[in-house]
Structure 1
């Protein structure tokens, strides 16, 4: 599994860790399972990607927003663990798309996050997933994704 030094090979750079916008933690660890709170598409400058998918934002653009959200998930994990070497596998993602009533391409949008994880972690990035459309998301963001991640025990990693 990758340590942070693998990111240059993928032309990726971890982003600043988002600050929770409510009374919760970005990550809660229970044994070797990490529960990552819903993350959104926040760029390096702290700007949120906003809008209603299917009206203001295309499926292709929302896919990129979901990919950016995946980078935020990795940033949160790296901050919690010190690096990403202890990530064993992504178990489950739950993706929300701020979409119009008639939008039906939710899976294509959330593939942005899923594809990133598979690109970086290979088989360890393949996960169970649900993707649903919602009437709104906090701050009018386009997508939000939460994750359940299995890690190697402390002192063990697979680099």
Structure 2
């Protein structure tokens, strides 16, 4: 099953790829690697899932925010590649979690994105990953995630 078909079977719809909000590119290529700039949990109405773990956001809320961020990343990948089936492998994710200093469950939060990638891309969605806590994120987002994909030629 193609990734777009898998998304549909899960009842998921890719949002429209965003425009950069500053002086950067949403993605860049280096050989067969596609690098995606960090994205957050932006909803279709333009608002973000916000909150700080350990203070005003739960792990489940943040997990869902990371899942939404994964959809946003896949949307950008689709706009860069034309179709998600060109993704040969998700190489690496860097997940940043807006968290209080004593919060320690960062991996559980970023699993929202990791789980989504495996659901949609199968074994190609498995990846290396870092999950870090930070004192704040733009727009008070709960998470920000960047990704590196290995892609097939057209």
TM interval, short-chain normalised: over 0.9
Q: 1:82: how far off?
A: 1.4
Match of 1:129 in 2: 129
Gapped regions of structure 2 (runs ≥ 5)? none
Match of 1:97 in 2: 97
Match of 2:60 in 1: 60
Between the aligned partners of 2:98 and 2:49, the Cα distance in structure 1 is 11
Match of 2:112 in 1: 112
Between the aligned partners of 1:7 and 1:43, the Cα distance in structure 2 is 17
CA RMSD of aligned residues (A): 1.1
How many residue pairs were aligned? 154
Between the aligned partners of 2:49 and 2:10, the Cα distance in structure 1 is 23
Between the aligned partners of 2:137 and 2:21, the Cα distance in structure 1 is 12
Match of 2:80 in 1: 80
Between the aligned partners of 2:95 and 2:129, the Cα distance in structure 1 is 8
Match of 1:21 in 2: 21
Q: 1:124: how far off?
A: 0.4
Bigger mean CA offset, 94-103 vs 9-18: 9-18
Between the aligned partners of 2:109 and 2:142, the Cα distance in structure 1 is 10
Gapped regions of structure 1 (runs ≥ 5)? 155-159
TM-score normalised per structure 2: 0.96
* Structure 1: 4+ residue segments shifted above 2 A: 1-6
- Cα deviation, 1:52-93, whole Å, max 9, x if unaligned, reads 111110011000000000000000001111121211110000
TM-score normalised per structure 1: 0.93
